[in-house]
Structure 1
Amino acid sequence: MQEVGIYEYQHPLADAVAYKARLADLSDRIKIMARGDRAVLASTGWTVNGSVAEGRKMLREYTKLMLRAYNAEADSCVARVQPHRLHTTVERLNKVTHTIARLGRTMGIHVAPEYHQLRVHEIELTADYRAKLEEEKERIREERERQREERAATAEFERERARLTKEQSHYLAALAKLQAKGDMSGAADLEAKLAEIGEAIVGVEARQANVRAGYVYVISNIGAFGPGMVKIGMTRRLDPEDRVRELGDASVPFKFDTHALIFSDDAVGLEAKLHNALTEQRVNKVNTRREFFYASPAQVRDLLQEIAGQHLLVYHEASEALEWRASGAQQQETPPPSALTPAPA
């Protein structure tokens, strides 16, 4: 899986806290082995000038030196390992083990396989921990974004209901005056208008109560991501274009273009069905919360009509991309700074 860019956990655990606890336990085991002179081993019976004691002393000094060299490299691997570089990092430490064995062959000095395995385990757990930590951070970011979007939608509903209620009170006051004057024709017109306002208030309240209702949108940003890529999402906003405008904020160089909009009482389910239908065309196959797909607006339109069976509120095949096209025209007239010829000294 890692060959295609998807990280596969070596030691799956529930969360980052569990990984941290496992790493702490492993660190204790590593220290016990190192302090017990069981991390780097050497042959016995080595003598120096016929002295066994001097031989033991030399072996002890050399094994400590090799252990320091090995641990320095292992610590560096642990500090720098990234999930996508795990295999390379482990291979790097394996080479150090082979080098120590080659250099210490005369005295039989080598890293104990059990100790080496503990350090490799530490590298793997650290890579898993960092992957899980990033996964949890992303989940928190997504949840904060969802909550922010929900607050914005709720505020919109409240504002719209307040506006309609205020408008309703004005019409009620006007209706009372017309009825007092005996203007039944004018009163009938106002009663019809009040009925419309009442229906609108009921509609807003129903939208607010139904957390699954909303708009599914299909947008693109040819200037930022190139052609052939769309983002498919949903929003509960009364005006879905408000959400589209927010997505085209300072994090991307150009605004998004809206290709399709469809309202659904189950926009959450409709969005999920579209995402599932386009699974193979996902841009980010690791983080499924990223809603970008290699697809054309026409492909998504056909899927929408097939799945939802409803008429699109908005559909535009081509990307307008006004800012991007205008920027391209200006670049042709004025080369970018990197292309300008430096002035002679």
Structure 2
Amino acid sequence: MALFGNNQSAEVAALHQQLAAAHATIAELRNWVGHLRGTETAVLEADLRRLKATVEQAKAEHSAQTAAREQLAAELESWRSQLVETRELALLQQVGIYEYAHPLEDALAYKDALTELRARIKTAAKTDAVTCQVDWAVNGSVKEGQKLGRDMAKLMLRAYNAEADNAVRVVKPHTVESVKTRLTTTRDTIGKLGALMRIVVSSDYHRLRLKEIELTADYLMKVEVEREAAREERARLREEAKVMKEVERERARLAKERAHYATVLARLEAKGDVEGLVRAKEQLAAVDDAIAGVEQRAANIRAGYVYVISNLGAFGPDVVKIGMTRRLEPMDRVRELGDASVPFRFDVHGLFFSEDAVALETALHQRLAADRVNMVNPRREFFYATPARVKELLTELGDDHILEYKDTADAVEWRASRRDTDSAHALSGASNTDAGDDGDLSSDGDLT
């Protein structure tokens, strides 16, 4: 029993020692934790505060940059709205078929309207073209302040009128909107510069100047249209004159031939040559038929030849010209079209006579209206179409029109020119190759 009690006491003592050691370890750990809280935690908290401040500063800078970008974008958009496109090429690319702002009958009517409008502008410039409201004194005098305002208003009006006069001087049919926008921008700028004195170009006066620009553009367009019509009329008259000359020459030739056969007929009757008399009467009847045909052609202004031609070297493979001529020799007209204005002669695909060539030509033009090369001027008779397609249209209009037709263009001059050009390029390339070979040989010689 005594031994058992001793053992228990030893175990209890050992446990007490372990417990004391554990308490010591706990105390040591608590000391370390307190040490850490007192030193490194403060450093970490300071770093954290600095990081938070940096983040807040970055956020503020980002907000400022965003606001600056938005302001710059707004200013850029404002400047863009004030910019006026003045490049001729860009304006020409934007223009479509011209629409008259003030449709009038002819150029003279536009000129009269411009004269009347400019009289109204001159009257308005003396009365209510510009307004100015000044209610402060200069050198202690209200009158001097008002006089200064009136002088500044006159100066602003002169600047505006100078811009308006220049706009009228330089405007073209395809630059109307650009010029009007530029004048409106000038008026707005004057309003900003004269804001302190409340100087404003009146809306009514500005409207008159804008109308002057529109009328001027309409006048210029109408003049060009009338010039084009006059050119077309002169060309038509020249063509008619050539037709009449041909008719007169043919009449004279046939009349001379008829007189000849009439003389022969009289001699044969006197000689009693019955067989020769029959032949002479047949020949005289043929001449009379020819004379009747010429007279009919001269009387019928709608009769003539419709032609389908192409120029492969000048316009490409899928462009044809469809026209009409009243010439007795229609190829004369085709040869004229292939003069020095195009690099190669035209190829004829079809050339056929019609009693109503005008209607036939019009019908072909209507069926190919969507394929016109020039959509603005219908007098330009070029179409994006193959000769084979035109042949199909002619077949639809009536087989009697087609006597002889050729689908493929010979384009002899163009093909010969290409061959000569290719040969020249080949010779040039060979010369360059020879020169390069000589250079290589000399280099080899230098190396050896």
For the criterion TM > 0.5, the same-fold answer is yes
Return the letter of the residue paired with 2:276: G
Q: 1:263 aligned to 2:353?
A: yes
Measured against aligned partners, the alpha-carbon deviations of 1:79-104 in whole angstroms (never above 9, x if no partner) come to 11111111111111111112111222
Measured against aligned partners, the alpha-carbon deviations of 1:11-69 in whole angstroms (never above 9, x if no partner) come to 00000000000000110111111122x22222231432442222122212221221121
Larger RCO (alpha carbons 8 Å, 6+ apart): 1
Q: What SS is found at the alignment partner of 1:310?
A: helix
Q: 1:182 aligned to 2:269?
A: no
Note the 1:45-194 alignment, pairs <5 A.
45-194=135-284
- Check 1:331–1:98 CA distance in 2 against 1; reply closer, same or farther (3 A cut): farther
Among candidates 260, 271, 274, match of residue 364 of structure 2: 274
Corresponding residue for residue 25 of structure 1: 116
Between 16-25 and 45-54, report the one with greater CA deviation.
45-54
Q: Percent identity?
A: 57
- Check 1:304–1:67 CA distance in 2 against 1; reply closer, same or farther (3 A cut): same
**Contact kept? 1:216, 1:263, Cα under 8 Å:** yes
Q: CA deviation at 1:3?
A: 5.1
**Contact kept? 1:6, 1:286, Cα under 8 Å:** yes
Corresponding residue for residue 410 of structure 2: 320
**Contact kept? 1:218, 1:297, Cα under 8 Å:** yes
* TM value normalised by structure 2: 0.71
* CA distance in structure 2 between the aligned counterparts of 1:237 and 1:311, rounded to whole angstroms: 18
Q: CA deviation at 1:334?
A: 4.7
Question: Which structure features the higher share of helix residues?
Answer: 2
Corresponding residue for residue 15 of structure 1: 106
Measured against aligned partners, the alpha-carbon deviations of 1:259-285 in whole angstroms (never above 9, x if no partner) come to 211211111111111111111112222
- Check 1:46–1:251 CA distance in 2 against 1; reply closer, same or farther (3 A cut): farther
**Contact kept? 2:95, 2:174, Cα under 8 Å:** no
* CA distance in structure 1 between the aligned counterparts of 2:318 and 2:136, rounded to whole angstroms: 70
* CA distance in structure 2 between the aligned counterparts of 1:88 and 1:186, rounded to whole angstroms: 83
Corresponding residue for residue 339 of structure 1: none
* CA distance in structure 1 between the aligned counterparts of 2:357 and 2:109, rounded to whole angstroms: 36
Among candidates 295, 314, 318, match of residue 224 of structure 1: 314
**Contact kept? 1:46, 1:107, Cα under 8 Å:** no
* CA distance in structure 2 between the aligned counterparts of 1:119 and 1:296, rounded to whole angstroms: 50
**Considering only aligned residues, what root-mean-square deviation do their CA atoms show, in Å?**
2.0
Measured against aligned partners, the alpha-carbon deviations of 1:215-242 in whole angstroms (never above 9, x if no partner) come to 1111222333333222211111111111
* CA distance in structure 2 between the aligned counterparts of 1:172 and 1:109, rounded to whole angstroms: 96
Q: 1:251 aligned to 2:380?
A: no
Q: What SS is found at the alignment partner of 1:231?
A: strand
* CA distance in structure 1 between the aligned counterparts of 2:151 and 2:421, rounded to whole angstroms: 67
**Contact kept? 1:215, 1:262, Cα under 8 Å:** yes
- Check 1:9–1:185 CA distance in 2 against 1; reply closer, same or farther (3 A cut): same
Q: CA deviation at 1:333?
A: 4.4
Q: What SS is found at the alignment partner of 1:263?
A: strand
Between 17-26 and 183-192, report the one with greater CA deviation.
183-192
Q: 1:42 aligned to 2:42?
A: no
Return the letter of the residue paired with 2:392: D
Q: Which stretches of structure 1, 4 residues or longer, exceed 4 Å deviation after superposition? A: none
* TM value normalised by structure 1: 0.91
Among candidates 375, 390, 406, match of residue 300 of structure 1: 390
Return the letter of the residue paired with 2:278: A
- Stretches of structure 2 that go unaligned for 5 or more consecutive residues are 1-92, 426-448
Return the letter of the residue paired with 2:113: R
Between 46-55 and 284-293, report the one with greater CA deviation.
46-55
Measured against aligned partners, the alpha-carbon deviations of 1:109-130 in whole angstroms (never above 9, x if no partner) come to 2221111111100000000001
